[in-house]
Amino acid sequence: MVFSSAAFLFAFLPLSVIIYNLLPGLALKNIFLCIISLCFYAFGEPVYVLLMLASVGFNYICGIVASRNGAVGLAGLIVGASADIICLGYFKYTDFLIGNINVLFNTSIPLRGIVLPIGISFFTFQEISYLADSYRNKTCQKNPLKVLLYISFFPQLIAGPIVKYSHIEKALSERKADINDISEGICRFIFGLSKKLLLSNTLGLITDNVFGFESVNIFSAWIGAVSYCMQLYFDFSGYSDMAIGLGRIFGFRFNENFNYPYISGSIKEFWRRWHISLSSWFRDYVYVPLGGNRKGIARKCFNTSVVFILTGIWHGASWTFVVWGIWHGALVILENIGVINIKNKLLSHIYTLVCVCIGFVIFRAETLALGINMVKNMFFGFNFSTLSYVSLFSLLSPYNVFIFILGIIFSFPAAKKFERLKYPFSAILFILCILSLAASGYNPFIYFRF
């Protein structure tokens, strides 16, 4: 079930909010949220609900052990985190490893065809952070129901943001959602829904067309690249907005996950603004434990490389994601050591956007070779055949051009100007969203596959 589906908007969500607010006491509310969160997950992955329950139970026990002193606590952390990583690796990377072994050693080991549990990358990272924080702080949650709610809470279960336990620990025990919280949450949800349905979906169709063209020239290649950058941003930031809004409806305050990343003047700044919960997770649980920037420039570069390679691998079992991570890591290292040091604000902004575009083209491509070919066409695609022109002009319908321009505008802080009109504006946007949902069957969520 996705947030932008009719089943969620007109059945699951309103019923959940009504029943939740009718229940007396926070204990019953927490139990109810656990039940509906598991039902939400079961809607798409009924079998893997058992996997999630087993995973939560195992991490609950390991968290208690990890909170103890000495070698026992360290053992609890290592055993729990290792099991989480092995589980994630089995489901996400087994076929990728088999495929690469077959290529390298000319073998024919059959692929396992393992179905990836939805959201496993997100809730696995939450479990690992819970264990690490239990070990560091020597405290853990003794109530298993609260650990279950922390991991399974449906607004952030499928595609984040990745929430630290400490961020919502107090809210699990004492919270309330007044009329202001509910109204603010609904508005935030509708803004996210609008990003998804009104912008991302149309930009996604443009992107799919370009990446499916037989003949691509420099103009259509850049249209496809920029469209995908905006599609990905509005898809994922829209989902994060919806998750933050839903959390607030139930009394939870999640941290922001995006802060207008396309205004960045460097790749380092980009990663302070893009998918903030993921970059913060890698900083706190990988980069800093490896030594961060405390052990000299060489060690800092090594630590940065590890973080970005893992970031690429986390996104998916494909060399396109690995290369995307290496690309960003290399640029950050070059910025850190001063090789890339653009003083002019406009030029630094252009450099950042071009580099991000190149990276996301690789990220989007089905294979590394296709991604490299698309990047080549972005700079050397001087193919002006009749077919390339026909392909190009098929993209330029008035509606596509309008959404493309609107996407550029709303990728920047201009969107903040609408906050003063959020209540009437939200009503209009919701109507437009429903019309869009009724008119189109194209409604993917990109980050569901991660």
Question: Catalytic residue numbers?
Answer: 315
Give the CA distances from residue 133 to residues 299, 303, 368, in Å, rounded to whole numbers and listed in that order.
25, 21, 37
How far is 80 from 213, CA to CA, in rounded Å? 47
| Backbone φ and ψ of 379, nearest 5° | -115, -25
Cβ neighbours of residue 403 under 8 Å, at least 6 residues apart? 198, 199, 202, 203
Helix axes 368-380, 319-336, angle to 10 degrees: 50
How far is 298 from 248, CA to CA, in rounded Å? 43
Helix ranges (DSSP H) in 110-214: 120-137, 144-152, 154-157, 165-173, 179-194, 201-212
- Tell me the HSE value of 339 on the side-chain side, using a 13 A CA sphere: 7
φ/ψ region of 113 (left if φ > 0, alpha if ψ in -120 to 50, else beta) reads left
Handedness of CA 72, 73, 74, 76 (dihedral sign): positive
Handedness of CA 316, 279, 203, 213 (dihedral sign): negative
Are 123 and 151 contacting, i.e. CB atoms less than 8 angstroms apart?
Answer: yes
How far is 388 from 139, CA to CA, in rounded Å? 62
How far is 50 from 117, CA to CA, in rounded Å? 11
Cβ neighbours of residue 369 under 8 Å, at least 6 residues apart? none
